[in-house]
Structure 1
Amino acid sequence: MDDKIFKVKGTYVAGEWHNNINRYDIINPSNNKKLSDVPISDIKELQKAVEAAKQAQKVWQKTSLIERANLLEKLAKRIEENEEEFALIDSYDSGNALTGMRKDVKETVNNIRYFCGLVREVKGETFSMEKNHLNFTRYQPYGVVLKINPFNHPFRFCVEKIAAPLLMGNSLIIKNSEQAPISSLRFCELLEDLFPKGLINVVTGGPENGKFLVEHPDIKRIAVIGSVNTGIAIAKTAAPQLKNVTLELGGKNPIIVFDDADPDFAANLAIKGMNLSRQGQSCSSTSRVLVHKKVKNKFLKSLVEKAKTIPIGLPYHEENEIGPIVSKKQFDSVMAYIQSGKDEGAKLLLGGDQNVSNDLKEGFFINPTIFCDVKPNMKIAKEEIFGPVISVIDWEDHDEMIKIANSTQYGLTTMIVTESLSNAMKTSEEVEVGYVWVNTSGRYSGAPYGGWKLSGIGVEECFDEMKGYARLKNINMKWN
């Protein structure tokens, strides 16, 4: 089972499978062995994807909202029937725990159905200023939408993000990460005989293919999930044509523990918020802990004890919660950050090393890592590591804590742990982020998720996301 090979039918363009002669190997991060090989889309194929998407969109926009929703409901049913397969593929391909990938597939289905139920609520406005006069607005699709996705939620980000643009009458070209593309290509097998050919296209390739698509004049709307550097580069490329771009980017998110918090409860939230079932490879991970000095020692003791008990191992084995880093490149990056923490004087309480036990020694496994006595100006406190590294900073003065919380270029999430309503409300208002948790974690369909500052532009998983895939047109009319 550990030497499993996944075969893909190819890339999916214009309702057909394409297998360009140029291919590249997908590596299993658990053992550094070949997992699959995937064709690389060439420029001719990308151009065909754009043309096919243009033609399919012209037909699709004339399809009723009810029929669009019905087809997506059928797709959701097919996904449910293949839940275990998609979860297993992503566990092998991305290194994320199987249990977490099952949740991803379930959330994908839930979000598709959420948007299917919501689409009828997208309504325009009407008003009249005088006799024989009517002013009204309506939403119309952009046309071809480009989606560029990262490696950490390969299936979920590929599939659940199609619902809003499709329901609003657009067609799609999807480019998933080169590091974990298998589930998105397998997903295309579910599309056959369901949607018009060319409505959904899934292509592969690196930054050069992304640049070609971003620059293409027939693509009017772009949505990106990725790093800050990637988002900025895409925004710059799209700027000369004033394309509508939304960005869900990185985070260096704080969890703020007040002196009235129960240390064990706070430690549990810190572990959960860190998303260790994805090795901390999550933009929403609470990788900075700002803990009040009064509860610091008890909190740290509990945090270390809990982190020690999390099972690390092959992610496709049911009992494991922490798997490998997605690639050698990312592994080296995380280890370099850990070394910088040591070099800059942070105190290493746990981990900081590669796990080289017998069945893991060939993979990219890093033990859960906890630093304390971290200073706000250290690299591990300022930069997104995207690995299982927690940096603990202590505080006493509220204003100074807020200053530290807001001191990075990011503004995605914050978690607050307190028994005081005043603390919760005051701090929620002061943190410069788009999403705040108080004494809880997790996300919910319908609640807008998006970042401030360099963490992004726009929101997702809500009504505003759906409306964001259509252009608003005003019609002002009079008659005799």
Structure 2
Amino acid sequence: MSQPRSPDPIATHVSGREFKMLIAGKFVDGAEGTTKEVFDPSTGALLTEIPVACAADVAAAVAAARDAQPAWEALGVAGRSACFGRFADLLIENRERLAMLDAIDCGNPVKAMRLDVDLCRAYLEGWPALAQSMNGDVFPASPGNLHYTAHRPYGVVGRITAFNHPVMFAVTRPLPALITGNTLVMKPSDETSLSTLALAELFAEAFPPGVVNIVTGDAASGDALVTHRDVKRLAFTGSVSTGLLIQRRAAESGHVKHLSLELGGKNAMVVFPDVDLDAATEGAIYGMNLDVCQGQSCGSNSRILVHSRIYDEFVATMAAKLGAYRVGVAYDESTDIGPVVSRAHRKRIIGYVESGVAEGATLVRGGGRPSGLPAGGNFVEPALFADVTPKMRIGREEIFGPVLSVFRWDNYDSMIAEANGLDLGLTASVWTNDLDVAHKTADALDAGYVWVNDSTRHYFGTPFGGSGNSGIGREESPDELLSYLEQKVVHTRLGDPRSALARMLG
């Protein structure tokens, strides 16, 4: 007896559905009627269209957020936390739909996207608890006076999210702004907007109208948000070039804005000769996020610096392990590694693979299109390069894809200089069984977040962010919570308590 066919995920979650923006609690198209086509990265087929917000749409979203903010702030942390709880329940109810939309739209494997949705719940519970414990400071600055701090939200926050974790970023990144009493205008990446527009329905059900507004579109839509006079606080996750542009455009707007930027990385993984080879090679592959987002992650350890004593064995072991991963259609349950996000991005990655070969690196495995997959899909078999040097493009530029570069080192000081030789400093990892060496090296590496015998994992409550061109500000921690609040100091001149007591008793 034949088995029933599984439902077609595109027919179930995309076909016949409308994807609209959320402004002032209403689902709307763009005022100018402009749309953008959305293509399936697994097949190249046209999926649907999404609205492109014009400046008037962004202005309407900002106005709605501004009008909703006083009442949202007045709810207090407890009232806002209740909305978080309702939203968390809705998120779990819609887990499969959201995960499938990310697989369909972004190309990330669906089984990884289910875990992304699950992770959101921890943040929805964590931020209210952190906000409840927040307090001010009292300063003994001068006798006979009282000095203390108080905090107020900025008002309207603009949030622009990256394409590589659409649901997770659309849920977790706005939370510290919202729990502190700000309202939000969020713009997802124009390459992966479907799940965020689906989330708009959940935001509208869980939060008062205008508290969360979602606009989609292109660079002009983002620019309208960045330069709007009423958006006092901006946060962006994405490329260095776009982060620099946002800084410039925010300054040119004529209105002082507070920015946080989580930008690119070309992260070093330093491997010492005393490691467990199996654990270290597993860590190198895990740290590339290949089975989550095809290496399209700013935190991936794409530069692997291995001591020469174990170099050849390390490379051979990695190559064998990479062969066990199945590249395939993102919404196929058996897929480990999906397609990259777009045809243009695939072309860019292949260009890096070709440049690595041309510049003398050894392509150990991968770098091409696996056989047996849809011809229109954006598939790249993970590429492993050996004999990489810092002068090669694959050794110094962020590829944002499934390309691993393995460097050989002998001299400790030269290795540290090489690891720190770029203007990017997001993350790094150190692999050794010697505790002294581990801490010495972690201290020497120029990176905002360093793992020892681990990589790429985030732990809520620990500040995450980079140095250099990898960004400004810290996320997922009390530092981020405070960054969405303006601080004021209150000074009170106290009278002579003896005089007051005498008047009271006299």
Same fold? TM cut 0.5: yes
SS in 2 for 1:122: coil
Q: Please give the alpha-carbon distance, in whole angstroms, between the structure 1 residues aligned to 2:355 and 2:177.
A: 42
Q: 2:373 aligns with which of 324, 336, 359?
A: 359
Are 1:25 and 2:37 an aligned pair?
yes
Q: Which amino acid aligns with 2:134?
A: V
Determine if contact 2:76/2:181 at 8 Å carries over to the other structure.
no
Q: CA deviation at 1:377?
A: 1.0
Q: CA deviation at 1:397?
A: 0.4
Q: 2:70 aligns with which of 49, 58, 74?
A: 58
Q: Please give the alpha-carbon distance, in whole angstroms, between the structure 1 residues aligned to 2:204 and 2:179.
A: 18
Q: 1:307 aligns with which of 322, 325, 330?
A: 322
Paired-residue identity, %: 38
SS in 1 for 2:474: coil
More displaced 10-residue stretch of structure 1: 344-353 or 357-366: 357-366
Q: Please give the alpha-carbon distance, in whole angstroms, between the structure 2 residues aligned to 1:150 and 1:329.
A: 16
Alignment match, 1:12: 22
Determine if contact 1:253/1:414 at 8 Å carries over to the other structure.
yes
Alignment match, 2:260: 246
Q: 1:15 to 1:86 in 2, by over 3 A?
A: same
Q: CA deviation at 1:316?
A: 1.1
Are 1:270 and 2:284 an aligned pair?
yes
Alignment match, 2:312: 297
Are 1:422 and 2:432 an aligned pair?
no
Q: Which amino acid aligns with 2:327?
A: I
Q: 1:348 to 1:14 in 2, by over 3 A?
A: same
Q: 1:2 to 1:103 in 2, by over 3 A?
A: closer
Q: CA deviation at 1:137?
A: 0.5
Q: 1:343 aligns with which of 348, 358, 375?
A: 358
Q: CA deviation at 1:191?
A: 2.2
SS in 2 for 1:192: helix
Are 1:331 and 2:346 an aligned pair?
yes
Aligned ranges for residues 114-153 of structure 1 at < 5 Å?
114-128=126-140, 133-153=145-165
SS in 1 for 2:174: helix
Q: Please give the alpha-carbon distance, in whole angstroms, between the structure 2 residues aligned to 1:8 and 1:307.
A: 39
1:174-231 Cα offsets, whole Å, 9 max, x none, are 0000000000000011123432211100001111111111111100000000000010
- Runs of 5+ consecutive residues of structure 1 not aligned to the other structure: none
Determine if contact 1:73/1:116 at 8 Å carries over to the other structure.
no
More displaced 10-residue stretch of structure 1: 20-29 or 467-476: 20-29
Q: CA deviation at 1:74?
A: 1.4
Q: 2:182 aligns with which of 162, 166, 170?
A: 170
Determine if contact 2:204/2:212 at 8 Å carries over to the other structure.
no
Q: Which amino acid aligns with 1:315?
A: A
Q: Please give the alpha-carbon distance, in whole angstroms, between the structure 1 residues aligned to 2:443 and 2:275.
A: 19
Q: 1:130 to 1:284 in 2, by over 3 A?
A: closer
More displaced 10-residue stretch of structure 1: 171-180 or 109-118: 109-118
SS in 2 for 1:191: helix
- Runs of 5+ consecutive residues of structure 2 not aligned to the other structure: 1-7, 496-506
Q: CA deviation at 1:358?
A: 2.8
Q: CA deviation at 1:459?
A: 0.7
Determine if contact 2:185/2:214 at 8 Å carries over to the other structure.
yes
Determine if contact 1:30/1:95 at 8 Å carries over to the other structure.
yes
Q: Please give the alpha-carbon distance, in whole angstroms, between the structure 1 residues aligned to 2:336 and 2:138.
A: 53
Q: CA deviation at 1:266?
A: 1.1
TM-score, length-scaled by structure 1: 0.98
Q: 1:77 to 1:274 in 2, by over 3 A?
A: same
Alignment match, 1:478: 493
Determine if contact 2:264/2:298 at 8 Å carries over to the other structure.
yes
Q: 1:129 to 1:409 in 2, by over 3 A?
A: closer
Q: Please give the alpha-carbon distance, in whole angstroms, between the structure 2 residues aligned to 1:127 and 1:246.
A: 28
Determine if contact 2:10/2:104 at 8 Å carries over to the other structure.
no
Q: Please give the alpha-carbon distance, in whole angstroms, between the structure 1 residues aligned to 2:365 and 2:125.
A: 42
Q: Please give the alpha-carbon distance, in whole angstroms, between the structure 2 residues aligned to 1:207 and 1:40.
A: 10
Q: Please give the alpha-carbon distance, in whole angstroms, between the structure 1 residues aligned to 2:131 and 2:178.
A: 10
SS in 2 for 1:415: strand
More displaced 10-residue stretch of structure 1: 63-72 or 131-140: 131-140
Determine if contact 2:19/2:194 at 8 Å carries over to the other structure.
no
Q: Please give the alpha-carbon distance, in whole angstroms, between the structure 2 residues aligned to 1:256 and 1:27.
A: 38
Q: CA deviation at 1:428?
A: 0.3
Q: CA deviation at 1:2?
A: 6.6
Q: CA deviation at 1:45?
A: 1.3
Q: 1:60 to 1:301 in 2, by over 3 A?
A: same
Q: CA RMSD in A?
A: 1.3
Aligned ranges for residues 443-462 of structure 1 at < 5 Å?
443-462=458-477
Q: 1:372 to 1:210 in 2, by over 3 A?
A: same
Q: Which amino acid aligns with 2:302?
A: S
SS in 2 for 1:61: helix
Aligned ranges for residues 360-375 of structure 1 at < 5 Å?
360-375=374-389
Are 1:156 and 2:156 an aligned pair?
no
Alignment match, 2:5: none
Alignment match, 1:284: 299
Q: CA deviation at 1:444?
A: 0.9
Q: CA deviation at 1:127?
A: 3.5
Q: 1:211 aligns with which of 201, 214, 223?
A: 223
Q: Which amino acid aligns with 1:437?
A: W
Alignment match, 2:402: 388
Alignment match, 1:34: 46
The count of residues paired between Structure 1 and Structure 2 equals 479
Q: Please give the alpha-carbon distance, in whole angstroms, between the structure 2 residues aligned to 1:175 and 1:81.
A: 24
Q: Please give the alpha-carbon distance, in whole angstroms, between the structure 2 residues aligned to 1:118 and 1:69.
A: 11
SS in 2 for 1:251: coil
Q: Which amino acid aligns with 1:461?
A: E
Runs of 4+ residues over 6 Å off in structure 1: none
Q: Please give the alpha-carbon distance, in whole angstroms, between the structure 1 residues aligned to 2:345 and 2:161.
A: 17
Q: 1:337 to 1:70 in 2, by over 3 A?
A: same
Q: Please give the alpha-carbon distance, in whole angstroms, between the structure 1 residues aligned to 2:146 and 2:18.
A: 54
SS in 2 for 1:73: helix
Alignment match, 2:499: none
SS in 2 for 1:316: coil
Are 1:377 and 2:387 an aligned pair?
no
Are 1:190 and 2:180 an aligned pair?
no
Q: CA deviation at 1:361?
A: 2.3
TM-score, length-scaled by structure 2: 0.93
Determine if contact 2:159/2:236 at 8 Å carries over to the other structure.
yes
Alignment match, 1:98: 110
